[in-house]
Amino acid sequence: MGIQPWVIVEAPDGRGLREVVVNGEVVGTAWSSGELRAVLARLGYPRTLDLEDPAAVLWRGGDSGTWPDRPWRRRATSALMIAGMLASAALHMVIGWPDALRALTFSQRVVGAIFVLAGLVQCVATVAAFDHCGRRQFRMSGALVLLGSFITLPTTTTLIFMWLEEREYTPYLLAFGPLFLWSLWALLHCVREKSWKGLPQPKKFAAGVAFTAVLTAVSLAYSTMYQPTAAPIRFVLKADFGTPQTDTDPRQVAVPLTLYVKNDGGIPVYVINDDYTVWGETFAPSATGEGLRHWKEDTESLSAVEAERYARTARKEVLRSGHFYGPGAWLDAGEEFAAEKVVRLPKDADYGELEATLRVHFMRKDRGRLDEDFARPRFSWDRDLEQYYCPPAECGENAVYHGRVRHNNNLVNVTRRPRYVTAFWGPRTGLDVFISSFDFRKRSLYVHREGVDTAEAQREKERFGAAVVSANAKILTAGFLRPPGDRPPGDEGGR
pLDDT at 487 over 60: no
Q: What is the pLDDT of residue 4?
A: 46
Domains of the chain, start order: 7-59 (no CATH), 73-230 (no CATH), 233-362+468-483 (2.60.40.10), 368-464 (no CATH)
pLDDT at 221 over 80: no
Q: Where residue 216 falls among pLDDT bands split at 50, 70, 90?
A: low
Which has the minimum average pLDDT: 65-79, 186-200, 221-235, 366-380? Answer: 221-235
What's the rounded Cα separation, in Å, for the pair 477 and 347?
10
DSSP code of residue 5: P
Segment (H or E) for 255: strand 252-263
What's the rounded Cα separation, in Å, for the pair 295 and 293?
6
Q: Where residue 287 falls among pLDDT bands split at 50, 70, 90?
A: low
For residue range 293-307, what is the model confidence (pLDDT) as tens digits? 666 666 666 666 676
Q: What is the pLDDT of residue 454?
A: 83
pTM beyond cutoff 0.85: no
What's the rounded Cα separation, in Å, for the pair 138 and 311?
92
Q: Does residue 227 contact residue 366 with C-beta atoms inside 8 Å?
A: yes
Q: What is the pLDDT of residue 1?
A: 39
pLDDT at 476 over 60: yes
Q: Residues 6 or more apart from 486 whose CB is under 8 A from it?
A: none
Residues linked to residue 8 through DSSP beta bridges, in sequence order: 21, 58
Q: Residues 6 or more apart from 158 whose CB is under 8 A from it?
A: 220, 411
Residues linked to residue 474 through DSSP beta bridges, in sequence order: 355
pLDDT at 405 over 90: yes
Q: Residues 6 or more apart from 117 whose CB is under 8 A from it?
A: 96
Q: Which of 111, 337, 72 is nearest to 216 (CA)?
A: 111
For residue range 160-179, what is the model confidence (pLDDT) as tens digits? 998 998 888 999 999 999 99
Residues linked to residue 432 through DSSP beta bridges, in sequence order: 424
What's the rounded Cα separation, in Å, for the pair 464 and 407?
7
For residue range 348-360, what is the model confidence (pLDDT) as tens digits? 888 989 999 999 9
Q: What is the pLDDT of residue 243?
A: 92
